[in-house]
């Protein structure tokens, strides 16, 4: 991750973070269009947010923390694409607690628990875009339908979570996360933009098409590459996704 220290008139030092999206997907006039965002170095007040029992119980502690840490005027965490938000989160963790992240992880080859230290500053961006487009088309392999999808922001994720909770109140036996997320992602099917038509298509989408859509979507999302090598005594040369657990922002925690 590339970071560049900047000078401001604020009494608190800030750091400029390069966004994986390069700012290409944000509207003209948005501060994020520059491809960077400024964040504050963590203070004791920021740590108060992270340790707030009330915010943790409500499930909004990270959103409140990230809103407080973002220094660029006019930018909220909900405005950011998910990959860009991940970049801010990793940078904030490095500035607050250092680049070394100690984890315990299962070896994907032998299953043994491996303890290792990850250098967060070595994580790189992936799927960096070459052109400005927040939307793109995907042709599904089975139905041959052409769907137009958009990249999700943190606000989209919050809306998805809210919808899922509402549906659970109606029927707690069914998890609607997969279809709810697809309905938020898909803008059109074969040129048809009617939400009712899109939702009907999602509800009847073949599993192979749905999996292909999710996998292809992931390869188009500018993000932090969280894949890491597992250094196990079994000698396996495999990678797994970096787990972001309780110790990411609470390094002294032993939970």
Segment 188-225, tens digit of pLDDT: 999 999 999 999 999 999 999 999 999 999 988 999 99
Per residue in 117-168, pLDDT tens? 999 999 999 988 777 677 889 999 999 999 999 999 999 999 999 999 888 8
Higher pLDDT: 58 or 72? It is 72
**Predicted local confidence at residue 179, as pLDDT:** 94
Of how many residues is the chain composed? 255
- Comparing C-alpha atoms, which of 100, 82, 87 is closest to residue 1? 87
Sort strands 113-119 and 100-106 into parallel, antiparallel or unpaired: antiparallel
Q: What is the dihedral of CA 48, 244, 88, 77, to 10 degrees?
A: -70
State pLDDT tens for residues 19-69.
999 999 998 899 999 999 999 999 999 999 988 989 988 888 899 999 999
Task: Report d(CA 237, CA 18) in Å as an integer.
Answer: 31
Q: Measure the CA–CA gap between 66 and 199, rounded to whole angstroms.
A: 32
Backbone angles phi, psi at 98, to 5 degrees: 100, 170
What is the mean predicted confidence (pLDDT) over 227-232?
88
Band of pLDDT at residue 184, cut at 50, 70 and 90: very high
pLDDT, residue 254, reads 41
Residue range 97-118, pLDDT digits in tens: 999 998 888 888 888 898 999 9
pLDDT of residue 2: 53
Burial 143-157 (b: 16+ CB within 10 A, else e): bebebbbbbbbbebb
Mean pLDDT score of the chain: 89
The pLDDT score that the predictor gives to residue 93 is 94
State the pLDDT at residue 253.
Answer: 47
pLDDT band at 174 (very low <50, low <70, confident <90, very high): confident
**Helix ranges (DSSP H) in 52-176:** 53-58, 61-69, 82-97, 154-170
Separation of alpha carbons 255 and 251, rounded Å: 10
Model confidence band, residue 246 (pLDDT cutoffs 50, 70, 90)? low
pLDDT at 22: 93
Q: What is the pLDDT of residue 239?
A: 87
Query: pLDDT value at position 188?
Result: 97
The position carrying tokens 């109140």 is 169
Q: What pLDDT is stored for residue 6 in this prediction? A: 45
pLDDT of residue 251: 63
> How is the beta sheet containing 36-40 ordered, strand by strand?
3-6, 14-18, 36-40
Between 177 and 209, the more confident residue is: 209
Say what the pLDDT of residue 3 is.
53
Largest CA distance in the chain: 58
């Amino acid at each position: 991750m590339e970071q560049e220290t900047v000078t401001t008139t604020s009494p608190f030092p800030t750091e400029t973070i390069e966004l994986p999206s390069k700012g290409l997907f944000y509207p003209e006039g948005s501060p994020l269009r520059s491809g960077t965002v400024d964040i504050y170095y963590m203070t004791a007040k920021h740590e108060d947010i992270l340790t707030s029992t009330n915010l943790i119980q409500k499930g909004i502690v990270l959103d409140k923390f990230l809103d407080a840490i973002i220094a660029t005027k006019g930018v909220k965490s909900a405005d950011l694409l998910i990959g860009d938000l991940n970049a801010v989160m990793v940078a904030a963790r490095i500035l607050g607690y250092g680049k070394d992240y100690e984890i315990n992880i299962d070896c994907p080859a032998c299953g043994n628990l491996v303890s290792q230290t990850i250098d967060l500053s070595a994580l790189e961006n992936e799927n960096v875009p070459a052109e400005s487009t927040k939307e793109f088309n995907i042709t599904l392999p089975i139905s041959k339908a052409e769907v137009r999808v958009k990249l999700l922001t943190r606000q989209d994720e919050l809306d998805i979570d809210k919808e899922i909770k509402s549906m659970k109140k109606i029927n707690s036996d069914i998890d609607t996360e997969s279809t709810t997320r697809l309905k938020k992602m898909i803008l059109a099917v074969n040129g048809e933009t009617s939400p009712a038509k899109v939702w009907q298509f999602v509800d009847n989408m073949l599993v192979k098409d749905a999996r292909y859509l999710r996998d292809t979507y992931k390869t188009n999302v500018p993000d932090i590459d969280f894949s890491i090598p597992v250094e196990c005594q079994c000698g396996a040369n495999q990678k797994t996704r970096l787990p972001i657990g309780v110790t990411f922002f609470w390094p002294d925690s032993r939970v």
